[in-house]
Amino acid sequence: MPIKYIPFIPEPVEGQAVLGNFNRILKYKGADDVSMVLQRGMPLYEMEKQETVGGNPDGNLVIRGECVSACAYLKDRGIQVDLVYIDPPFASGADYAKKVYIRRNPKVAEAIAQAEQELDIDELKAFEEKMYGDVWDKEKYLNWMYENLMAIKSVMSETASIYVHLDFHVGHYVKILLDEIFGEDNYQNDIYWYYYNKLHGATKQVFPRATDMILYYVKNREAGFTFHHLTEEREKPIKKLKYSFVNGHIQNDKDESGKSITYLSTERQIDNVWKISMLQPADKTEPTGYATQKPEALLERIIKASSNEGMLVADFFGGSGVTAAVSSKLGRRFIHCDIGLNSIQTTRDRLKTDGAQFQVLEIKDGVQLYRNPVQTMDKIKSLIPGLKNEDSLDSFWEGAVTDSRLGTIPVYVPNLMDSSSKLLDVVTMNRIIHQAIPDLDSSIKKVIVYYIDITSEEEIRKFIAQDDSTDVEIELRDLKAVLDGVVIGDWAEFHVEERTDDLFGRYAVVVDAFVSDRVLQKIDEFNQKARMNATAKKPFKPIEISDTGLELIEYLSLDCTAGQGEWHSDSEIKIDKNGFVIRNGEKTKEFWDGTIRSEKKPLRLKIRNICGDETVWEV
Ligand SMILES: C[S@@+](CC[C@H](N)C(=O)[O-])C[C@H]1O[C@@H](n2cnc3c(N)ncnc32)[C@H](O)[C@@H]1O
């Protein structure tokens, strides 16, 4: 439940139909709901400090949470940003997956190395995990987008700029939203990112698509904004006329014989078509593995064009952390926000390797309760006792449970992949009472409504009690209670050795064995699928995990400063997908030896498994 609500805009205009203009053009359903949400304000939640990397004098932030709750936090703290880049999910109907790599087990390294010679490394070691879904219908998406853009606008300084990265799915619709939110006068340009090197395969598209659009606005053109013209090298130098300004007029320069003077121009001003290579898996210079990762070169242009050193750059859908990483390299301050645990871990590790300083925060807005919404939704039927599909029900209902006295009881479950349905508020309850329940068969006596977050249980109960349009009983249930037990912690066996002659520290925590039920379950599912899809040409080769299980570890960290609370990574080891160690952010060509060392006595050990679950043990 939120602590309080923060207004979106400084002076909300009472009674103004927020989506008025847009409505006139599209009249899409649900536009009234977003007006109510905007009047209520942005929910502000508690914030937990997870870790500070370095002294962080510039106040850089890596925030796990939803865009709107992150904006509420920033606004409450009076933090204003100078430049925003966002690359939100596109409503493309895609489920994004992350490749998970089994690491090299130091205890059975030889066996693995041999198998690598026989098999393609990716096939041997990688399986996929669904990360987050991108599955809205257009109307819901636009409502959600509107709310997010309003929240973002509320934390932009008067002279700030915003770049919204989209594609053909919704780009043209969102342009209209942006016109309404920022004003047509503040529209600057569409940038077309031309990713010329994308493999099209045997596409049936009339013209294969090779562009994304990036819509560029400023908060208030009148107040001024930062912009620097950029240049790039020409593919081929061209001959150009030399000219000068004489008495305010442009004039060609001539030589003594009256001939125009020319020169070879090797640079050109960057226009709004940006030809930048798409990241390919073969590209080893930028970390890949995040499904929708954008190239640093793209962000470099945006950040160089629309900010100065020291300015604050924010990305509220940060993904792999490209905006934060480039901002840091260019001497800008940064805020990275994302709902995904994998994004936070990828960004944290990326920034650490770059030597950046920052604080990791987690907003207690509910997203931390389900580390992987796609998988949780897949499992939801098995988590709620008695819940079964019921063909006669509308898709609004997840299914039904059967009660000997009351018969069929329809069950509503918020879609964890669609963050707009996470909060149970008066708007959703109004829809349940006035649309969903009247559509049910008249024999239904009761419904169950699960929520992941609720504005106020008292307010919702009062709202239900005051509305006498239905006799159907409505039971509210907290989905968190169901999800709490879903993730089983990992198990590790380790011992500490004191060493006098160790280069990397006096204390060595030696990991003897590691078990992660969740990862093993995933591998099991992968093996079953692979067995079914096997062919004579591509026979079934299961992923097998050793008894010690050390190949399931991606990252280890020792806290030698505090036995509880915020994490201090006094020593850390990351094992990259090829088995090489990144020690305290420094890449090496060493294989992991099964230990982590520290100079000071370790108090806590943190281990992250290859799917991203982290478990902490007292040492
Ligand atoms: C297209 S990806 C961004 C990729 C990023 N630009 C990069 O280069 O890696 C969209 C991201 O938005 C995140 N996301 C989805 N809904 C969100 C929300 N409500 N608030 C914050 N992040 C969200 C997803 O977890 C995902 O990482």
**CA-to-CA dists, residue 108 to 21, 111, 115, 118, 509, angstroms:** 65, 6, 11, 16, 19
CB 155 within 8 A of CB 75: yes
Residue to probe by mutation, ligand 1, list 338, 341, 419, 421, most atoms within 8 Å of CB: 338
Domain-embedded: residue 113: no
Residues 462 and 394 reside in one and the same domain? yes
Residues 477 and 497 reside in one and the same domain? no
Residues 159 and 238 reside in one and the same domain? no
DSSP letters spanning 451-462: ESEES-HHHHHH
Name the strand (E) or helix (H) holding 296: helix 296-306
Q: Give pLDDT, residue 86.
A: 98
Cα dihedral across residues 154, 156, 157, 159: positive or negative: negative
Which atom of ligand 1 is nearest to 86's Cα? 6
Domain-embedded: residue 118: no
Looking up residue 164, the CATH number of its domain turns out to be 3.40.50.150
Which atom of ligand 1 is nearest to 294's Cα? 8
3-class SS of residue 244: strand
Residue to probe by mutation, ligand 1, list 135, 286, 292, most atoms within 8 Å of CB: 292
Domain-embedded: residue 457: yes
Looking up residue 409, the CATH number of its domain turns out to be 3.40.1340
Which atom of ligand 1 is nearest to 131's Cα? 25
Of residues 290, 271, 269, 299, the one with CA closest to residue 83? 299
Strands of 329-460 (E only): list them.
333-338, 358-363, 399-403, 407-412, 423-424, 446-451, 453-454
Residues 318 and 412 reside in one and the same domain? no
Q: Give pLDDT, residue 20.
A: 47
Ligand 1 center–CA 249 separation, angstroms: 50
Looking up residue 576, the CATH number of its domain turns out to be 2.60.40
3-class SS of residue 262: strand
Of residues 496, 489, 487, the one with CA closest to residue 604? 496
Residues 85 and 54 reside in one and the same domain? yes
The residue whose CA is least distant from atom 18 of ligand 1 is 66
Residues 31 and 84 reside in one and the same domain? yes
| Final residue before a domain boundary, out of 416, 450, 483 | 483
Of residues 349, 378, 324, the one with CA closest to residue 87? 324
DSSP letters spanning 170-192: THHHHHHHHHHHH-GGGEEEEEE
Amino acid, single-letter form, for residue 280 = Q
Domain-embedded: residue 105: no
Ligand 1 center–CA 340 separation, angstroms: 8
CB 144 within 8 A of CB 177: no
Residues with CB under 6 A from ligand 1: 66-67, 87-89, 132, 290, 292-294, 316-317, 319-320, 322, 337-340, 343, 419
> What CA–CA distance (Å, rounded) separates 601 from 29?
61
Domain-embedded: residue 170: yes
> What CA–CA distance (Å, rounded) separates 125 from 127?
7
CB 360 within 8 A of CB 351: no
Of residues 434, 433, 463, the one with CA closest to residue 449? 433
Residues 221 and 246 reside in one and the same domain? no
Domain-embedded: residue 244: yes
Residues 325 and 388 reside in one and the same domain? no
Domain-embedded: residue 440: yes
Taking the whole predicted model, whether its pTM rises above 0.85 is answered as no
What is the domain range of residue 476?
A: 373-483
Residues 344 and 381 reside in one and the same domain? no
Residues 359 and 381 reside in one and the same domain? no
Structure tokens at 500: 């006098």
Q: How many Å separate Cα 68 from the centre of its chain?
A: 13
Question: What are the two backbone dihedrals, phi and then psi, of residue 277, each rounded to the nearest 5 degrees?
Answer: -60, 140
Q: Give pLDDT, residue 412.
A: 94
**CA-to-CA dists, residue 261 to 241, 255, 266, angstroms:** 6, 6, 16
Strands of 70-111 (E only): list them.
81-86, 94-101
> What CA–CA distance (Å, rounded) separates 605 from 599?
14
The interaxial angle of helices 31-40 and 138-153, nearest 10 deg, is 30
Domain-embedded: residue 176: yes
Of all residues in the chain, what percent carry a pLDDT higher than 90? 49
Q: Give pLDDT, residue 303.
A: 98
Of residues 218, 270, 191, the one with CA closest to residue 82? 218
Which atom of ligand 1 is nearest to 88's Cα? 10
Q: Kindly give, in sequence order, each residue whose CB lies less than 8 Å from that of residue 402, ignoring residues fewer than 6 positions away.
A: 386, 388, 408, 409
Residues 467 and 328 reside in one and the same domain? no
Number of domains into which the chain is organized: 4
> What CA–CA distance (Å, rounded) separates 140 from 454?
19
Q: Kindly give, in sequence order, each residue whose CB lies less than 8 Å from that of residue 385, ignoring residues fewer than 6 positions away.
A: 401
Residues 220 and 235 reside in one and the same domain? no
Which atom of ligand 1 is nearest to 165's Cα? 6
Ligand 1 center–CA 352 separation, angstroms: 20
> What CA–CA distance (Å, rounded) separates 217 from 54?
34
Q: Check residue 272 and give left, alpha or beta (phi > 0: left; psi -120 to 50: alpha).
A: alpha
Quickly count: other Cβ atoms within 10 Å of residue 266's Cβ.
11
Q: How many Å separate Cα 272 from the centre of its chain?
A: 26
Ligand 1 center–CA 2 separation, angstroms: 22
Vertex 320 angle, CA 101 and 199, to 5°? 75
Residues of the chain with pLDDT under 50: 11-18, 20-27, 119
Which atom of ligand 1 is nearest to 290's Cα? 9
Residue to probe by mutation, ligand 1, list 131, 343, 365, 422, most atoms within 8 Å of CB: 343
> What CA–CA distance (Å, rounded) separates 596 from 592?
9
> What CA–CA distance (Å, rounded) separates 579 from 109?
10
Residue appearing with tokens 């349009």: 469
